[in-house]
Structure 1
Amino acid sequence: MSYAKLDALGRKLEAIDHAIAILSADEATNMPVGGGEKRAEAVAHLSGIRHETFTAPDVADWIEAAKAEDLSLDDQLSLREFVRVHTNATCLPSDFVRRQTESNMRSEQLWRDLRIKNDWAGFAPALENVVALAREEAAMRADALGLAPYDAMMEQYDPGNRAADIAPIFEDLKAFLVDFVPAALEAQDKQRVARPQKSLKGTYPIEMQRELGLSMMAALGFDFTHGRLDVSHHPFCGGVPTDVRMTTRYRTDEFLSSLMGVLHETGHALYEQGLPRELGHLPVGHARGMAIHESQSLFVEQQIARSPEFWQWAMPVVREHLGADVLEGWTVEDVIGEVNTVERGFIRVDADETTYPLHVILRFEIEKALIEGELSVRDIPEVWDAKMTAYLGHSTKDNYRDGPMQDVHWPAGAFGYFPSYTLGAMIAAQQWAVIEKAIPDVRNHVAAGHFDALNAWRRENIWSLASRHSTPEILEKATGEPLNPAHFMAHLKARYL
């Protein structure tokens, strides 16, 4: 049977994907600097082999023959996803995939060196090459999929989402936040008059912070027989579902930034570990897309870990690992005031949940213009500065490392990814609204450090669906309605006003 041949092909591709994922995770955590060039060549070569294997002429024949076979409903959904992924793969020539992979990896390696030096002039030529290749990719994908170029790029991260649907939601959210952030800042100032802010500054050894993070990961349900925690320049969750590679970064003068990063990445990891293992070798068994992925990480970080109930449980855990005098004299309300501090800042990954979407919307607007050829790389700093000033009141003129060089996504060629972050935040709020109805005492569960019921709901309604449906379809199946930003806005109002 032809479907059986596709199933066997999936196992070959899974093996290659496994190798690429672990090599890539190691490249960001343990690889010596001098290994960069050969590592880029190795990953590029494996990517080329994968592409050639998946796009071999026989595969298209197997797909066509499988369409006529008597398949179960699950196998039909699997075949549909196989067709979607195959179409996206066959529209890119193998030599292009190799060339782009190597260019993107070398660009990312250069970015790591030049960002800290604030050297936009030195980095810009590499980014120009990345953008040129991304435009080529977008054009080829758009032609094969019958989509606009930027939609074709978004399709790689969030199947089913379209810029025409997202842009108006982002415009409404931007208009809401431009007024809401000042109101939240004013409310915060009033609270601090009544309850002065305490300081978390101190000395927190990295090993003690690491043990705290591991403890929190275990409580949330992370399976350490199928994953680990490391350190990297930029926190991420990578690897494969049976070997999840999570990373964070530490500061010794405070512990919250690392801890919140660990909690965020644990949300990603739980999703990966919760995918149906029996389908892991097939496209239908993979995570649906980055908006759903971000909804799971932000669900843990924002909906759970920034709630007062979470800190009722977490404060004793923090003291157990960092010392009995840590948070001495603090109340839950004090901690909540700290973890939910509203502040207009330069850095997206350090932003609070009220300002974070404005960082994302800025990037969405710029990268969409880049892919569509309406903006050139040399003009990015000026446009970035104008939008940052308008949206968040900060100028980034001549401050490239805190401006357009701060993220790894564009240096690595990931265009169409950024919307996923804010879509994920909105989806997370929408999920929480449904869960509170499904599990009326869920806040008591969180306060006791019991997360099994939350994980069970997400496993049944999100994780187990994997890629059986599109992003919008999964959201509607899980919550009973399409994406509704009103839930996110209501969440922000309740928390900050």
Structure 2
Amino acid sequence: MSFQKLDELGRTLEALEHAISILGADEATHMAVGGGDKRAEAMSHLAGLYHTQATAPEIGDWIADTREESLSEDQRLALGEFEQNYISATCLPTEFVQRRTAATMRSEQLWRELRAKGDWDSFLPALEGVVALVREEAQLRADALDLAPYDALMEQYDPGNRTAELDLVFDDLKTFLKDFVPEAVAAQERRLSVRPRKPLNAPYPIEKQRELGLAAMRGVGFDFTHGSLAVSHHPFCGGVPTDVRMTTRYRTDEFLSSLMGVLHETGHALYEQGLPKEWSHWPLGKARGMGIHESQSLFVEMQLARSSEFWEWALPLVHLHLGEDAIPGWDIPDILNEVNHVERGYIRVDADEVTYPLHVILRYELEQDLVSGKLEASQIPEAWDAKMTEYLGISTINDPKDGPMQDVHWPSGAFGYFPSYTLGAMIAAQQWRALEQSLPDIREDVRRGDFARVNQWRAEQIWSQGSRWSTPDLITRATGEPLNADFFKAHLRQRYLG
């Protein structure tokens, strides 16, 4: 049976994925500095083996033969997802992949060197080369997938999403936020005039912060028999579902950024730990794209961990692990003042949940224009500044470091990824509303620190589904309707104006 051949291939690919993922996580956390060259050589070799196995010509015949076999519903869905992955892996010629890899690596290296100086002029030629390659890639993918070029790029990150639908959703959200941001800032100023922000009682020893993070992870459902927490330069969730490697970073002058980072990554980890184990060696058993993955991390970080109910449970944990004098005189409104502070800023990764979507929509709009040829790389600073001025009321025209040079995505050629961030926030809000409709008293569970029913609902609706459905179909199945910005807008109104 050809299905059996694909199944055996899947186990081989899963074994290679496992090794690559664990080696990558170890490199970021425990590898000695001198091990870098050999580690890169080993991972490159394994990646080559993976690509060779995943793109073998006979796989196309196996897929065609399997279509003629008698398949269960799950097997049929698994075959469809496998075929899409195969097309995606084989639609780029080896010669193109080599050119793109060399150009993006050089571009990224230049970006690291020149960003701190804000030297846009020296960086521009490399970026122009990347944009030309991205346009070429977009067309190759579009031809193979029968999609519009930018849709074909997005398909790598969120299968099923299309600009025709996203443009409507993002335009609606953008219009709302341009008016809402000033309202939220004004409401915050009124609150702070009555209850000012309180100082933190630093320092906070790293070991005590670690114990607090572990307690929070355990509380929200992380399975420590299948995962661990380490330290890295930038927090991430890696590894494999049976051995999730989560990381955070610490500052001794405050503890909330590390704790929120831990909770964010725990949201990713819970998704990985909850994926369907019987399909782990098939694409069907993998997470359904970056938008859904971000929705799971933001569900924990934003919907749960920045709510007053969550802090009724978590504040005693802070006192237990950091000491009663860790935040003297603070109560829940003081914590909420900190974790929900709104401020217009230049940097996307530092933005709050109110202003963050405008940073993403700006990039989404510019990416489409760059891919279509409507915008050239040389015109980015002016176009970026015009949108920053319109959306957030701040100018970046003489500040490329904190403007169009701030992200690694474009230097590395990752076009089509940015929409996933704001999609995740919107999907998380929509999921919370659906959960609350299903379990009207769920906030009482959160108040007690009982996340069993929360996680059971998410497991049934999202985690156990793997990649059975496209991103839009999964949202509709889980929440009862297609993606709708109204749920995210209602969430923001309740949190920041209520």
TM-score by length of 2: 0.94
1:102 Cα deviation after fit: 5.3
RMSD: 2.2
Note closer, same or farther for the CA distance 1:207–1:366 as it changes in structure 2 (3 Å cut): farther
Residue in 1 that maps onto 2:484:
484
- Which letter maps to 1:257? S
Matched residues in 2 for 1:117 and 1:37: separation?
28
Note closer, same or farther for the CA distance 1:6–1:102 as it changes in structure 2 (3 Å cut): farther
Residue in 2 that maps onto 1:339:
339
Matched residues in 1 for 2:223 and 2:113: separation?
34
Note closer, same or farther for the CA distance 1:151–1:275 as it changes in structure 2 (3 Å cut): same
1:295 Cα deviation after fit: 0.8
Matched residues in 1 for 2:176 and 2:397: separation?
26
Q: Where does structure 2 lack aligned partners over 5 or more consecutive residues?
A: none
Residue in 2 that maps onto 1:46:
46
Residue in 2 that maps onto 1:143:
143
1:245 Cα deviation after fit: 2.3
Note closer, same or farther for the CA distance 1:295–1:272 as it changes in structure 2 (3 Å cut): same
- Which letter maps to 1:56? A
Matched residues in 1 for 2:272 and 2:49: separation?
25
Matched residues in 1 for 2:42 and 2:121: separation?
29
1:451 Cα deviation after fit: 0.9
Answer whether contact 1:51 1:94 (CA < 8 A) is retained.
Answer: no
Residue in 2 that maps onto 1:58:
58
Residue in 1 that maps onto 2:467:
467
Report the secondary structure of 1:401's partner residue: helix
Residue in 2 that maps onto 1:290:
290
Report the secondary structure of 2:401's partner residue: coil
Residue in 1 that maps onto 2:78:
78
Range that drifts further, 444-453 or 27-36: 27-36
Answer whether contact 1:44 1:98 (CA < 8 A) is retained.
Answer: no
1:162 Cα deviation after fit: 0.3
Matched residues in 2 for 1:356 and 1:176: separation?
13
- Which letter maps to 1:422? T
Matched residues in 2 for 1:308 and 1:234: separation?
28
Residue in 1 that maps onto 2:421:
421
Answer whether contact 1:40 1:106 (CA < 8 A) is retained.
Answer: no
Q: Where does structure 1 lack aligned partners over 5 or more consecutive residues?
A: none
Matched residues in 1 for 2:253 and 2:439: separation?
39
Matched residues in 1 for 2:445 and 2:75: separation?
37
Residue in 1 that maps onto 2:230:
230
Residue in 2 that maps onto 1:248:
248
Range that drifts further, 485-494 or 380-389: 380-389
Identity among equivalent pairs (%) = 66
Range that drifts further, 191-200 or 42-51: 42-51
1:330 Cα deviation after fit: 1.2
Matched residues in 1 for 2:244 and 2:273: separation?
8
Q: How does 1:172-321 map to 2 (within 5 A)?
A: 172-200=172-200, 202-321=202-321
Report the secondary structure of 1:246's partner residue: strand
1:17 Cα deviation after fit: 1.8
Report the secondary structure of 1:253's partner residue: coil
TM-score by length of 1: 0.94
1:217 Cα deviation after fit: 1.2
1:51 Cα deviation after fit: 2.2
1:66 Cα deviation after fit: 0.1
Answer whether contact 2:201 2:326 (CA < 8 A) is retained.
Answer: no
Answer whether contact 1:299 1:428 (CA < 8 A) is retained.
Answer: yes
Answer whether contact 1:343 1:351 (CA < 8 A) is retained.
Answer: yes
1:159 Cα deviation after fit: 0.6
Answer whether contact 2:208 2:321 (CA < 8 A) is retained.
Answer: yes
Residue correspondences, number: 497
1:82 Cα deviation after fit: 0.8
Residue in 1 that maps onto 2:87:
87
Note closer, same or farther for the CA distance 1:240–1:369 as it changes in structure 2 (3 Å cut): farther
Report the secondary structure of 2:379's partner residue: helix
Note closer, same or farther for the CA distance 1:227–1:120 as it changes in structure 2 (3 Å cut): farther
Matched residues in 2 for 1:415 and 1:161: separation?
14
Report the secondary structure of 1:414's partner residue: coil
1:64 Cα deviation after fit: 0.2
Matched residues in 2 for 1:201 and 1:415: separation?
42
Instruction: String of CA shifts for 1:113-151, please: whole Å, max 9, x gaps.
Output: 544454445544444443333222211100101111110
- Which letter maps to 1:363? R
- Which letter maps to 1:468? R
Matched residues in 2 for 1:179 and 1:362: separation?
16
Report the secondary structure of 1:156's partner residue: coil
- Which letter maps to 2:165? D
Residue in 2 that maps onto 1:329:
329
Note closer, same or farther for the CA distance 1:274–1:117 as it changes in structure 2 (3 Å cut): farther
- Which letter maps to 2:242? T
Residue in 2 that maps onto 1:6:
6
Instruction: String of CA shifts for 1:397-423, please: whole Å, max 9, x gaps.
Output: 343332223323233332111111111
Matched residues in 2 for 1:57 and 1:51: separation?
12
Answer whether contact 2:201 2:328 (CA < 8 A) is retained.
Answer: no
Report the secondary structure of 1:469's partner residue: coil
Matched residues in 2 for 1:314 and 1:382: separation?
45
1:36 Cα deviation after fit: 5.9
1:106 Cα deviation after fit: 5.3
Report the secondary structure of 2:349's partner residue: helix
Residue in 2 that maps onto 1:388:
388
1:381 Cα deviation after fit: 2.8
Matched residues in 1 for 2:102 and 2:52: separation?
16
Answer whether contact 1:48 1:97 (CA < 8 A) is retained.
Answer: no
- Which letter maps to 1:435? L
Matched residues in 2 for 1:320 and 1:199: separation?
19
Matched residues in 1 for 2:244 and 2:128: separation?
33
1:45 Cα deviation after fit: 4.2
Matched residues in 1 for 2:230 and 2:63: separation?
40
1:379 Cα deviation after fit: 2.9
Matched residues in 1 for 2:44 and 2:366: separation?
28
Answer whether contact 2:201 2:327 (CA < 8 A) is retained.
Answer: no
Instruction: String of CA shifts for 1:249-275, please: whole Å, max 9, x gaps.
Output: 322221212211111111111101110
- Which letter maps to 2:280? G
Answer whether contact 1:41 1:102 (CA < 8 A) is retained.
Answer: no
- Which letter maps to 2:451? F
1:192 Cα deviation after fit: 1.3
1:485 Cα deviation after fit: 0.9
Instruction: String of CA shifts for 1:49-79, please: whole Å, max 9, x gaps.
Output: 3222222111000000000000111101100
Whether 2:21 is the aligned partner of 1:21: answer yes
Q: How does 1:366-445 map to 2 (within 5 A)?
A: 366-445=366-445
Matched residues in 1 for 2:391 and 2:19: separation?
42
Note closer, same or farther for the CA distance 1:23–1:88 as it changes in structure 2 (3 Å cut): same
